[in-house]
């Protein structure tokens, strides 16, 4: 309990400890703590930024998807239209061709008919003449009544 030189020793020790602490302990710890604080803040900020970018990207992706769908719908509609057009065109062409073929067939039928009629007429005239000849052979000379026969022939 006596006050003695321990007092001085303690004061000196105290100053030495404080000096050491001030020189070698406090600054590096504070610096490291500050750096870590900054690192964490940076990390959080980067995370926030990443989240934001992700949001933007997903929004962009959705837009792209929407565009693509729209485009696909457009393309399909166009294709449908084109197909319908093609079918119409083909129909038209087919109809014209068909008409043309029908007309050709009708023309050739008419021609055939005329020709057949001609032939038939000739044959009927021949048959009539032959029949008349047979009937008239006895009474009529072919030569004498030639003008008459011709007239009949023409009337047939």
Partner 1 sequence: MSTEALTSSEYIKHHLQNLTYGKLPGSDHWQLAHTAQEAKEMGFWAFNLDTLGVSLVLGALFLFMFRLAAKRISSDSKSMPSGLQNFVEWIVEFIDTSVRGSFSGKNPLVAPLALTIFVWILLMNLMDLIPVDWVPQLAHLAGLPFFKVVPSTDPNATFGMAIAVFFLVIYYSIKMKGVGGFVGELTLQPFGKLGLPANIFLEGVNLVAKPVSLALRLFGNMYAGEMIFILIALMFGGGLGVGLFGGVLQWGWAVFHILIVTLQAFIFMTLTIVYLDMAHQEHH
Contacts with partner 1 by CB under 8 A lie at: 1-11, 13-15, 17-18, 20-22, 24-26, 28-33, 35-36, 39
The residue (of 1 and 144) whose beta carbon lies closer to partner 1 is 1
Is residue 137 classed as helix, strand or coil in its secondary structure?
Answer: coil
The residue written with tokens 């970018």 in the block is: 53
- DSSP-assigned letter for residue 5: T
The residue (of 25 and 72) whose beta carbon lies closer to partner 1 is 25
CB of 16 to partner 1, least distance (A): 8
CB of 70 to partner 1, least distance (A): 49
The residue (of 6 and 154) whose beta carbon lies closer to partner 1 is 6
Token pair in block for residue 10: 């303690």
CB of 44 to partner 1, least distance (A): 16
Residue partners of 142: CB distance under 8 A and separation at least 6: 133, 149
The residue (of 17 and 131) whose beta carbon lies closer to partner 1 is 17
Question: What is d(CA 125, CA 139) in angstroms, rounded to the nearest whole number?
Answer: 20
Helix (H) or strand (E) holding 27: helix 26-136
CB of 64 to partner 1, least distance (A): 39
Question: What is d(CA 49, CA 102) in angstroms, rounded to the nearest whole number?
Answer: 78
């Amino acid at each position: 309990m006596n006050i003695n030189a321990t007092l001085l020793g303690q004061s000196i020790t105290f100053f030495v400890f404080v000096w050491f602490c001030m020189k070698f302990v406090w600054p590096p710890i504070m610096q490291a703590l500050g750096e870590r604080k900054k690192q964490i803040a940076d990390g959080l900020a980067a995370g926030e930024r990443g989240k934001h970018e992700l949001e933007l990207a997903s929004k962009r992706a959705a837009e792209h998807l929407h565009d693509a769908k729209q485009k696909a719908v457009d393309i399909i509609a166009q294709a449908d239209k084109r197909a319908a057009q093609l079918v119409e065109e083909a129909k038209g062409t087919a109809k014209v061709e068909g008409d043309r073929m029908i007309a050709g067939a009708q023309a050739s039928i008419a021609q055939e008919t005329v020709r057949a009629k001609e032939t038939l007429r000739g044959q009927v005239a021949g048959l009539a003449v032959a029949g008349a000849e047979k009937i008239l052979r006895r009474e009529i000379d072919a030569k004498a009544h030639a003008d008459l026969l011709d007239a009949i022939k023409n009337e047939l």
